[in-house]
Amino acid sequence: MSRLAPRLLLLALSALPPALGAAGPVRADDDGERARRALERGEIRPLDAVLAAARAAVPGDVVALDLKRDDGRWLYKLRILSPDGRRRDVKIDASSLKVLDVDDDD
């Protein structure tokens, strides 16, 4: 795993949206716990697999990563800086690793 991957995982885990429950708002450190449990349950794939799928679809350097729930499923959103300098946003299903969308960020 590259040196960037652990930092991206921390970024993804810290970016999870807080949820409200009976006990009140979930603290930011609980976001990482929710993601870890989702990984253990097989709801999301490991970060290295996600990065490989993203780079296969759009070659370049991953410069931002976000993991969130959307319509009942987990999605990774990545920003990739391509070798020609273009920024591209890639949306990947966190369970199947299917690339759902690629947008140029012009």
Structural domains of the chain, with CATH: 4-104 (3.10.450.40)
What is the amino acid identity at position 60? Answer: G
Backbone dihedral region of 94: left (phi > 0), alpha (psi from -120 to 50 degrees) or beta?
A: alpha
- Alpha carbons within 13 angstroms on the beta-carbon side of residue 83 total 3
Residue 101 in contact with residue 91, Cβ under 8 Å?
yes
Question: d(Cα 59, Cα 24) in Å, to the nearest integer?
Answer: 42
Residue 27 DSSP one-character state: P
Q: Which amino acid is at 90?
A: V
Taking the alpha carbons of 106, 56, 100, 9 in that order, is the dihedral positive or negative? negative
Q: What is the pLDDT along the chain (106 residues), one digit of tens a residue?
A: 455 555 555 555 555 444 433 344 545 557 678 888 899 999 999 989 999 999 999 999 999 988 888 898 999 999 999 999 999 999 999 999 999 999 987 5
